[in-house]
Amino acid sequence: MSDQKPEKTERYLSGIQPTGQLHLGNYFGAIRQHIEHQHAGNSFYFIANYHALTTVHDAAQLRAYTFDVAATYLALGLDPALCVFFRQSDIPEVPELTWLLMTATAMGDLQRAVSYKDKVERGLPASAGLFNYPVLMAADILAYESTIVPVGRDQVQHVEMTRAMARSFNDQYGQEVFTLPRHQLSEAPAVLGLDGAKMSKSYDNTIPLFLSGKPLKKLVMSIVTDSTPLEEPKDPERCTVFALYSLFASAEERAEMASRYRGRGFGFGAAKQALLEKIEERFAAPRQRFEKLRAEPSFVEDVLRDGAARARAVAGAVAERARQACGVG
Per the prediction, the chain carries an average pLDDT of 94
Same domain assignment for residues 303 and 155: yes
Radius of gyration of the chain (CA): 22
Point out the residues that are catalytic. Answer: 119, 198, 201
pLDDT at 261: 97
- Which tops the pLDDT comparison, 26 or 152? 26
Hey, is 66 helix, strand or coil? Answer: helix
Per-residue confidence band for 5, with pLDDT thresholds at 50, 70 and 90 = very low
Residues 93/142, Cβ–Cβ less than 8 Å = no
Q: Reading across the β-sheet that carries 43-47, which strands appear in turn?
A: 84-87, 43-47, 12-16, 148-151, 182-185
Identify any residues that bridge with 87 across adjacent strands, giving them in sequence order. 47
pLDDT at 218: 98
CATH of the domain at 40: 3.40.50.620
CB under 8 Å to 242, separation ≥6 — which residues? 236, 257, 258, 261, 271
Same domain assignment for residues 223 and 206: yes
CATH of the domain at 271: 1.10.240.10
Same domain assignment for residues 177 and 214: no
Per-residue confidence band for 115, with pLDDT thresholds at 50, 70 and 90 = confident
Per-residue confidence band for 125, with pLDDT thresholds at 50, 70 and 90 = confident
| Residue 4 lies inside a defined structural domain of this protein | no
216 is in which domain, residue-wise? 201-291
| Residue 6 lies inside a defined structural domain of this protein | no
Same domain assignment for residues 92 and 178: yes
The phi and psi torsions of 45 (rounded to 5 degrees) equal -125, 130
Q: Does the pLDDT of residue 1 top 70, yes or no?
A: no
Lowest mean pLDDT among 46-50, 198-202, 266-270: 198-202
Q: Does the pLDDT of residue 4 top 50, yes or no?
A: no
pLDDT at 8: 53
CB under 8 Å to 61, separation ≥6 — which residues? none
| Residue 1 lies inside a defined structural domain of this protein | no
| Rounded CA separation 223/238 (Å) | 13
| Residue 91 lies inside a defined structural domain of this protein | yes
pLDDT at 2: 42
| Residue 264 lies inside a defined structural domain of this protein | yes
Same domain assignment for residues 161 and 53: yes
Same domain assignment for residues 78 and 211: no
Domains in the chain: how many in total?
2
Q: Taking CA 134 as the corner, what is the angle to CA 128 and CA 135, rounded to the nearest 5 degrees?
A: 80
The reported pTM is: 0.92
Per-residue confidence band for 158, with pLDDT thresholds at 50, 70 and 90 = very high
